[in-house]
Structure 1
Amino acid sequence: MLALFKSSRFYLAVALTLFCSLLGSFLASFPYLQVIGALVLALVLGMVLQLFQPVVNQAKVGIGFISNKFLRLGIILLGFKLNLVDLAQAGVKTILLAIFVVTGTILLTYNLARKFGVNQQLALLAASGTGICGAAAIMGISPQLPVTPEQEEQKREDEVLAVAIVAILGTVFTLIDLGLKPLLHMTPQQFGVMTGGSLHEIAHAVAAGSAGGPVSLDTAIITKLSRVLLLAPAALIIGLWYHRKNHIGSADGQHKLPIPWFMGGFILASIVGTFLPLGAAVLAALVKLAYLFLGMAMAALGMSVNFRVILQRGGKAFGAATISSFVLLAFVIVVSKTFF
C-alpha cells in the first residue's frame, strides 16, 4: 500500500479521475445535462479517456484503488445528504412506499433479467440501480458480490453496463413523467411522490420534481431519499443472500460475513449530519466532497471497461429493467393518487 502512494502512476490516476469528476460536476450544471447527473457524466468522461490509451495504461496502477476505496469513502460522505428528521416527518406512508418500491423493483427486475438469461451479478446490479438510487446503489451493492480474480474484468463490465442502463432509463422516464404531468391532474405533493418514487437517480427526481413547483420538488427529494436510506439494509440483505446462494464461505471459510462496514459509515454520517450542529454550508460541502469521490470512482471504472463486450451483453438486462421501470411507474402513480 505504501509503495502505491509513492508511485507517480498512482497520482496520475488521481489527477485523471479528479479531472473527470470535476468536469462531470461542471457539465451537470447545464440544464440539458443536469438530468444525466454528474456521476454518469464522470463515467462517460472516463470512457472517453480510453482514446488516450498510452496515458490510461500508465495510470492503471491506481485505477483499481480509486474505484474501490474512493467509492466507499464517497458513499460514507453521501450519508450527510440524508436528514433523518426530515425523513421521519415525511410520515409512515412515504417510508412504506420506499420499502415497497425498493423491494418490489429489485425482485421484479432481478427475476425478469434471470429469465432473460442475464448473469446473476449483472441482474442484481441492474435491479439495485433501478430500485434504489441509480449509480450510487450499483456501486454500493457491488462490493457485496465477491468474485474470483479471473472474474474481475467481467464484474467491472457489469458495473458499467448497469450504470448505463439506469442512466438511460432514468433520463427517458424523467421525460415520460414530465409528459404525463398535465394528463394526470395531480397535486404538487402527488407529483413529487410520483417522481421521487419512480425515477432512478436523485438527479432525475430533482429534474422532474422541480417542474411541479417547490412543494413538488421537496416531496420528490424526500421520497427519493427515503429510497436512498434503504441502500444500507439492502446491501446487507443482498450480500447475505448472494453468499448463501453461491455457497461462498460455507466450505473453506475464507470469506467473512458480508457486513458492509462502509454502509455503517453511511448511516453514521446521516446521524451526525442530522443531530450535530454542523451548519448548512458544512453539510453542503461534505455532500459535494461525496460526489467528488464518487465521480472519481466512476471515472476510474470508465477507464477500464470493454466497450465491445458491454454492447454484446446489454440488451437483455436493459429489457428487464425497462419492463420493471414501467411497472414501477404505474404502481407509484396509483399509490400517489390514492394515498397522498
Structure 2
Amino acid sequence: MKDGERSLFIPGIAITFLIAVPAWYLGTKIPLIGGPVFGMLLGIITAICKPPPPCCRAGIRFTSKYFLQLSVILLGFEMNLFHVLAIGSQSLAIMFFTISAAFCVAWMIGRGLNLSGNTAILIGVGTAICGGSAIAATAPAIAAKEREVAYSLSTIFLFNIAAVFIFPVLGHYLKMSDLGFGLWAGTAINDTSSVVAASYSYSEAAGNFATIVKLTRTLMIIPITIILAIITAKKTAADSEFNLAKTFPWFIVGFLAASLVSTSGVFSEELCAALAHAGKFLIIAAMTAVGLSIDLRQMASNGVRPILLGLMCWASVAVVSLGVQYYLELW
C-alpha cells in the first residue's frame, strides 16, 4: 500500500477508534452486553447525529473488513489446544448435532422468512459456534454486507441476554448435575461472556467445565469458515473460474497459527493474553465501523424476521444439546 493510499484510510480509522474506546470501556463495565454491541450502537448513534464526512468512508470500510480479520487472528492467542482438547473432546458429539441443527434450522426457516442468505448464515453460525466471534470470522469469508452483520449481531445479543437468566432456572428445574449443566451451557449458549455468566451462577464446577467446552466449540470456526468460503465462491463463479487460493479465508490460517503459538509456550501467557485482548478490541472497532455504515431504514425493512430466526436456531440448539446428553446419559 502506497503512502497516498494509506493516508486515505487514516481519517476513517481514527474516527472509528475514537468511538471504539468508550465502547470498550462500557463493555468492561457491563460485560453481559459487551463491547462489540456497544461499538455498533455508538456507531449507529454517531451516524444518525453527525454522519462521518466522505473522507472517512474508505477508512471505515477498511476497519470493518481488514481489522475484523486481524481480530480473529489475534483471538487465537487465547487458545491452548492441549487444555481444550483434553476436556472439550467429551463435548464433540454434542457439538456435531447442535451445529447441524443450527444450520438446518437457519437454512429452512431463513428461506421461509425470506431472509437474505448471508443473514441466515451469520445467525446460524453465531448460534452454532460462538456468537460475535463466529460472525466476525464468517462475515468476510462470505462477503457479508454491513447491515447483514448488524442484523446478526443484534439478534445473537438478544438471546445471549435471555440465556443468562433462563438456562440456570431450567437447569435447576431439570436437576442437572454440574457436569451436565456445564456441557449444556457450553454447547448451547451463544457468546463466551454469557456462557461464563450463566454457568458460574449455577456453580463454580459448572462454570469451569462450560468455559473449556466453549473454547473447544470456538475452534469449530476453522472448518466452518473454510467450508462456507468455498461454497460462497462456488455460487458466485463458474467452476472453471473457481480458484481455491483466492477463495480461501487465509486469516483463519492465522487464527490456527496463533493457537499453535499459544499452545507451544513460545510466547508467555501474559503476552498471549495481551494479544487476545487486542483482538477483542479490534472486534469492537470493526463493529463500530459497521454501525457507522448502517442505514436504519434498510434494517427496519427486515422487521422481526431475524429475531424469529434467531429464536428458532437458539431453541433448536438448546433442545438438541439436552436431547443428546439425555441419550448419552451425561446428566
CA pair 212-277 structure 1, distance change in 2 beyond 3 A: farther
1:149 alignment partner in structure 2 = none
User: For each residue in 1:126-174, what CA deviation from the matched residue of structure 2 results, as whole angstroms up to 9, or x when unmatched?
Assistant: 111111111221221122224xxxxx8xx22111111111111221222
Alignment of 1:142-221 (within 5 A): 142-146=139-143, 155-221=145-211
Alignment of 1:291-330 (within 5 A): 291-330=280-319
User: For each residue in 1:57-101, what CA deviation from the matched residue of structure 2 results, as whole angstroms up to 9, or x when unmatched?
Assistant: 442120011111111110000011211111111153212222322
SS of 1:89 mapped into structure 2: helix
* Percent of aligned positions that are identical: 23
1:132 alignment partner in structure 2 = 129
CA pair 172-91 structure 1, distance change in 2 beyond 3 A: closer
Q: Which amino acid counterpart does residue 269 of structure 1 have in structure 2?
A: A
What TM-score results when the alignment is normalised by the length of structure 1?
A: 0.89
- CA shift at 1:178, angstroms? 2.8
SS of 1:324 mapped into structure 2: helix
Alignment of 1:245-324 (within 5 A): 246-250=235-239, 252=241, 258-324=247-313
> Does residue 94 of the first structure (1) align with residue 107 of the second (2)?
no
Note if contact 1:75-1:290 (Cα within 8 Å) is conserved in structure 2: yes
- CA shift at 1:234, angstroms? 0.1
Note if contact 1:79-1:266 (Cα within 8 Å) is conserved in structure 2: yes
Structure 2 distance, partners of 1:250, 1:188, is: 50
- CA shift at 1:314, angstroms? 4.1
Q: Which amino acid counterpart does residue 339 of structure 1 have in structure 2?
A: L
Structure 2 distance, partners of 1:97, 1:116, is: 28
Number of residue pairs the alignment of both structures matches: 328
> Does residue 67 of the first structure (1) align with residue 54 of the second (2)?
no
Q: Which amino acid counterpart does residue 131 of structure 2 have in structure 1?
A: G
Note if contact 2:69-2:251 (Cα within 8 Å) is conserved in structure 1: yes
2:22 alignment partner in structure 1 = 23
Note if contact 1:102-1:227 (Cα within 8 Å) is conserved in structure 2: no
Note if contact 1:98-1:226 (Cα within 8 Å) is conserved in structure 2: no
Structure 2 distance, partners of 1:41, 1:336, is: 35
CA pair 249-71 structure 1, distance change in 2 beyond 3 A: farther
1:6 alignment partner in structure 2 = 7
- CA shift at 1:119, angstroms? 1.8
Q: Which amino acid counterpart does residue 20 of structure 2 have in structure 1?
A: S
Note if contact 2:94-2:325 (Cα within 8 Å) is conserved in structure 1: no
> Does residue 82 of the first structure (1) align with residue 79 of the second (2)?
yes
Could you list the runs of 5+ residues in structure 1 that have no partner in the other structure? 147-151
| RMSD of aligned alpha carbons | 2.1
> Does residue 34 of the first structure (1) align with residue 31 of the second (2)?
yes
- CA shift at 1:306, angstroms? 0.8
Structure 1 distance, partners of 2:114, 2:83, is: 41
SS of 2:304 mapped into structure 1: helix
What TM-score results when the alignment is normalised by the length of structure 2?
A: 0.91
